A and B are shown apart, each in its own frame.
Chain A
Amino acid sequence: MGTMRTGRTPPRVGDGPFFRRILIGIVLILGAFLILAPLLIIGVEAFAKGWQVYRDTILHPDTRHAIMLTVLTALVAVPVNTAFGIAAAWAVTKFDFRGKAFLLVVIEIPFSVSPIVAGVAYLFVYGLQGLFGPTLDAYGIKILFAIPGIILASMFVTAPFVARELIPLMQSQGRDLEEAATSLGASGWRTFFSVTLPNIKWALLYGVVLCNARVMGEFGAVSVVSGNIRGQTNTLPLHIELLYHDYQAAGAFASASILALIAVFTIIAKVALERRGAGRVRPAVNPAEKTA
C-alpha cells in the first residue's frame, strides 16, 4: 500500500490557482469597498467630534422622538404583518380555493414595487385630493403626514416578509400533520398551536426579524407619507436624512449608528435562527425527513 493522499480534490473547471486568486481578490476588494468601508465610516464619523457630541445627538429630543416613532411603527407593523403572513401562508398552503395564484402574486407585489410608488399611492388614496381624503378629513381623522400613514406605508412595504418565509416551508410540510391532529380530535386552534407552530417557529422568527429590520429601516414610502415634521413625524431614517441636509454630519452618523447596530443584531439573530432551523438543536425538526 502506498502513502495515503488525503485532502486532494480533482481539478474542476476554472479551478486553476491563478483564476482562484483573481476571483477571491475581486470579491474581497469589492466587499471591502461596497460594504465594509461605508459601515466603518458610520462608526468613525459618528464619533468624529467626540463622545459628547454623539451623546448629545442621541439624547436630543428630536432624535429620541425619531427613535420612539421608529420603535412604535415596528411595534404595530411587525405584529400585524406577522399575523397577516401566517394567515396568508396558512391559506395558500393548507386550503384550495379559486384565486390562490392571484393571492400569491398580490403578496409579492410590495417586493417588486418601488417603495416611493407605494408612498405616492397612499397619497392618492388618503391625501386631501385623494379617494378617501375628504371623507376622513370631515371626520377629523388624519392619516397622511401623521403616524397612521407612516405605519400603513411601513406595513405595505414589509407585508411579504413573513409570508415569504413560511410559504415554501409549509408547502413542503404538506397538510398531513394538521389532518392527523384533527383526526385525533384536536380543534383548529389546538392544531395550530401544538402542531403547526412548533414546526414553523424558526422560519417564522426569521421572517419576523427580517420584517422588523425592514420596518425600522424603511425610507422611501415613509418619506412620502410622513411630511418630515421634525419631532413629530420623523422616523429614524428620515431623521438621519434631515440631519445630513442640515450639515450636521456627526449627528447624522450618530443616528445612523443606531440603525447599523439594529442591523448587526438582526444579522446575529438571523444566523442563530438559521442554525436552529437547520435542526442542530433538535434532530426531530426536519421537514425533509418526510420525503426520505
Chain B
Amino acid sequence: MKIRLDHVVKTFQTFRAVKDVSLEVQSGELVALLGPSGSGKTTILRMVAGLEFADGGHIYFGDQDATDIPVRDRGVGFVFQHYALFPHMTVAENIAFGMDVSKVKREKAVIQARVTELLRLVRLEGLGDRFPAQISGGQRQRVALARALAVDPKVLLLDEPFGALDANVRRELRRWLREIHTTLGITTLFVTHDQEEALDLADRVVILKDGHIVQQGTPEAVCRDPKSAFVMKFLGDANMLSAEVRDGRAYADGAVIEAAGLADGKAELYARPGDLDWVPQGGGIAATISRVMDRPSGRRVIATTRSGVHLELDLEAERTVKSGENGFVTLRRAKVFPV
C-alpha cells in the first residue's frame, strides 16, 4: 500500500509540531523518519496511524483519502516505543487480541494457528504462555511486532522500535526486522533518532528538523551528498572550519578545497574524521595533536589548530602519532556550505 502525505500540518496548542510535510512512501518500501527530538517525526507517524488527526493537509493510503479515518478502521499495525503489551495477557493472548476484537469473526482454531505461525515468524515458539513481564526486552519487542502483524495491516508503523534495547540486541533485531520486511514486503515506516539505525535498515531516509523535511533519499544519497550543514552534522561526527570562498575554491586555515558553484564570501567547511589525514611535514592546516584515543577500528586523534579549533581525525591503527606532536591536517574531501 502506497502512502502519500500532502501538505500535512499539526499544531499542539501553540506549538507547530509538523509544518507542511509532503511525503511519498512507495508500496513495499521501508522508510525511516530520522530527526532529533522535537522534529515532529513521531507526530507524523501517529498521524499516518490515525492516533492523531492532521490539522491541515491530506494523508492517502493508495488512492483513498485516509485523513479522517480513525485508527480503529485504518488497518495499520503500530509498534509502540515501549511496546504497550497488555500486561495481564499472555504473549499468545496479546498476539490474538487483534483477531479476537476484529469485526471479521474467526474460528478459535484459526486464531490459534495464526498465533502459532506468528510466534514462529518472530522466533518465540514455546513462549506463548508467558506474561510480558516474564520475557526480555528484545522478546517483548518481537511480541509487539507479531501482535501488530496479526491483523494483516496494510501498513506497518514503528515508533523508535529499538530505542529501549541495549546495543547488541538492537543490532540483531535490526537485521531481523529487515529480513521480516523482505519476507512480507509490507510498506513500513519507522521513526528513529539513531542515524546508524536509519541508514542500516531503511531503503530511504527522510530527515526532519523542526517539523520540516530537510532532506530525503537513499542512505547512500544522504550520506554522500548532504544538502545542509544540519544533515551533515546530524548523520555523524563532523568537523567544522570557518572558510572563505573565492572563485570556486574554499580556503580554511591553510587548506584549500573545491567549492564549485558557491558564491564568494563566508562559508563553513565540514569534514568527517575519516576525511582528514595527518602529515608531519608538507602542507595543510598547521596543528598540534592534543589527544589520541584508541579504538578497535583505528585511532581517533584530536588535533588543535593555531586558531584553537579542535579537529577529530580517524587514522589507521598502524599510524604512530602521539600527543604533543606538531604537523598538518590535510583534507581528503569536505563539504562547504555558505553561511
Known pairs A182-B72, A282-B131; A176 contacts B101 (CB<8 A):
no
Please pick, from A185, A198, A199, A290, the residue contacting B98 in the complex, using a CB distance under 8 A.
Answer: A185
Indicate if B105 sits at the interface (CB-CB under 8 A). Answer: no
Q: Is A182 a contact partner of B71 (Cβ separation < 8 A)?
A: yes
Q: Smallest CB–CB gap between B201 and chain A, Å?
A: 22
Indicate if A121 sits at the interface (CB-CB under 8 A). Answer: no
Q: Which 8 A-B pairs give the minimum distances between C-beta atoms?
A: A284-B131, A184-B98, A176-B84, A180-B84, A186-B101, A198-B88, A183-B78, A284-B87
Of residues 28 through 48 on chain A, the ones whose CB sits less than 8 Å from some CB of chain B are: none
Q: Is A179 a contact partner of B80 (Cβ separation < 8 A)?
A: yes
CA distance A283 to B87 in the complex (A): 9
Q: Smallest CB–CB gap between A106 and chain B, Å?
A: 22
Please pick, from B51, B102, B131, B133, the residue contacting A183 in the complex, using a CB distance under 8 A.
Answer: B51
Known pairs A179-B51, A183-B51, A187-B72; A282 contacts B88 (CB<8 A):
yes
Q: Can you give 10 contacting A-B residue pairs, CB < 8 Å?
A: A177-B84, A179-B71, A179-B84, A181-B97, A183-B76, A185-B101, A187-B101, A198-B88, A289-B132, A290-B82
Chain A, 180-214, contact with B by CB distance < 8 Å: what is the 0/1 string? 11111111001000110011000000000000000
CA distance A251 to B80 in the complex (A): 62
Q: Smallest CB–CB gap between B55 and chain A, Å?
A: 15
Please pick, from B49, B73, B88, the residue contacting A285 in the complex, using a CB distance under 8 A.
Answer: B88
Chain A, 276-292, contact with B by CB distance < 8 Å: what is the 0/1 string? 00000011111101100
Indicate if B151 sits at the interface (CB-CB under 8 A). Answer: yes
Q: Could you say which residues of chain B place their CB within 8 Å of the CB of A290?
A: 82
Q: Is A284 a contact partner of B72 (Cβ separation < 8 A)?
A: no
A98, closest chain B residue (CB): B13
Q: Smallest CB–CB gap between A159 and chain B, Å?
A: 28
Q: Is B82 a contact partner of A283 (Cβ separation < 8 A)?
A: no
Q: Inter-chain contact count A-B, CB under 8 Å?
A: 82
Seen from chain A, the residues whose Cβ lies within 8 Å of a Cβ on chain B are 176-177, 179-187, 190, 194-195, 198-199, 282-287, 289-290
Indicate if B103 sits at the interface (CB-CB under 8 A). Answer: yes
A190, closest chain B residue (CB): B101
Q: Is A185 a contact partner of B133 (Cβ separation < 8 A)?
A: no
Indicate if B134 sits at the interface (CB-CB under 8 A). Answer: yes
Please pick, from A176, A187, A284, the residue contacting B134 in the complex, using a CB distance under 8 A.
Answer: A284
Q: Is B101 a contact partner of A194 (Cβ separation < 8 A)?
A: yes
Please pick, from A177, A184, A199, A282, the residue contacting B151 in the complex, using a CB distance under 8 A.
Answer: A184
Q: Could you say which residues of chain B place their CB within 8 Å of the CB of A282?
A: 88, 131
Q: Is A177 a contact partner of B49 (Cβ separation < 8 A)?
A: no
CA distance A182 to B148 in the complex (A): 11
Q: Could you say which residues of chain B place their CB within 8 Å of the CB of A190?
A: 101
Indicate if B234 sits at the interface (CB-CB under 8 A). Answer: no
Q: Could you say which residues of chain A place their CB within 8 Å of the CB of B73?
A: 185
A198, closest chain B residue (CB): B88
Q: Could you say which residues of chain B place their CB within 8 Å of the CB of A185?
A: 72-73, 98, 101-103, 151
- Of the listed residues B71, B88, B151, the one surrounded by the most CB atoms of chain A closer than 10 A to its CB is B88
CA distance A177 to B84 in the complex (A): 5
Q: Is A284 a contact partner of B132 (Cβ separation < 8 A)?
A: yes
CA distance A198 to B89 in the complex (A): 10
Indicate if B86 sits at the interface (CB-CB under 8 A). Answer: yes
Q: Is B133 a contact partner of A177 (Cβ separation < 8 A)?
A: no
Of residues 65 through 120 on chain B, the ones whose CB sits less than 8 Å from some CB of chain A are: 70-74, 76-78, 80, 82, 84-89, 97-98, 101-103
Q: Could you say which residues of chain A place their CB within 8 Å of the CB of B88?
A: 198-199, 282, 284-285
Q: Could you say which residues of chain B place their CB within 8 Å of the CB of A198?
A: 86, 88
